[in-house]
């Protein structure tokens, strides 16, 4: 059995490159989950993946088709991890909160 090895690296700061590194099993799972979401108009989905140290985790996927100026976009936390560029707004919506919001709407 091929384990779905997947690493998702965030941007350090604005305009930096985000990276997804995975083996065939993980990238196929990600592709299939995204395709299913788009084909079936699902707002959320999850896949299980593993890092190269053997730790498993959940990848939460959210389809947010709201306009750019909608609250779910303009309050969404920025993805940057370097301290000077990271999220500092107290009312920012985390990706986990957004997943829960959209899951409730769907359910």
CA distance 5 to 18: 17
Q: What is the pLDDT of residue 71?
A: 95
CA distance 7 to 39: 25
- Its domain, for residue 97, covers 6-106
Residue 106 has pLDDT above 90, yes or no: no
What are the tens digits of pLDDT across the range 39-80? 999 999 999 999 999 999 999 999 999 999 999 999 999 999
Examine residue 18 and state whether it is found in any structural domain, yes or no.
yes
Examine residue 69 and state whether it is found in any structural domain, yes or no.
yes
Examine residue 1 and state whether it is found in any structural domain, yes or no.
no
Examine residue 61 and state whether it is found in any structural domain, yes or no.
yes
17 close to 8: Cβ distance less than 8 angstroms: no
Examine residue 29 and state whether it is found in any structural domain, yes or no.
yes
**What is the total count of domains within the chain?**
1
Examine residue 92 and state whether it is found in any structural domain, yes or no.
yes
Q: Is the pTM of this model over 0.85?
A: yes
């Amino acid at each position: 059995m091929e384990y779905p090895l997947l690493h998702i690296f965030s941007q350090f700061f604005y305009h930096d490159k985000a990276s997804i590194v995975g083996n065939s099993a993980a990238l196929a799972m990600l592709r299939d989950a995204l395709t299913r979401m788009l084909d079936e108009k699902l707002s959320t989905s999850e896949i299980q993946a593993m890092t190269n140290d053997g730790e498993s985790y959940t990848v939460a996927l959210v389809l947010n088709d709201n306009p750019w100026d909608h609250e779910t976009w303009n309050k969404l936390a920025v993805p940057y991890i370097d301290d000077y560029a990271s999220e500092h707004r107290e009312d920012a919506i985390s990706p986990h909160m957004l997943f829960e919001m959209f899951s409730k709407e769907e359910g």
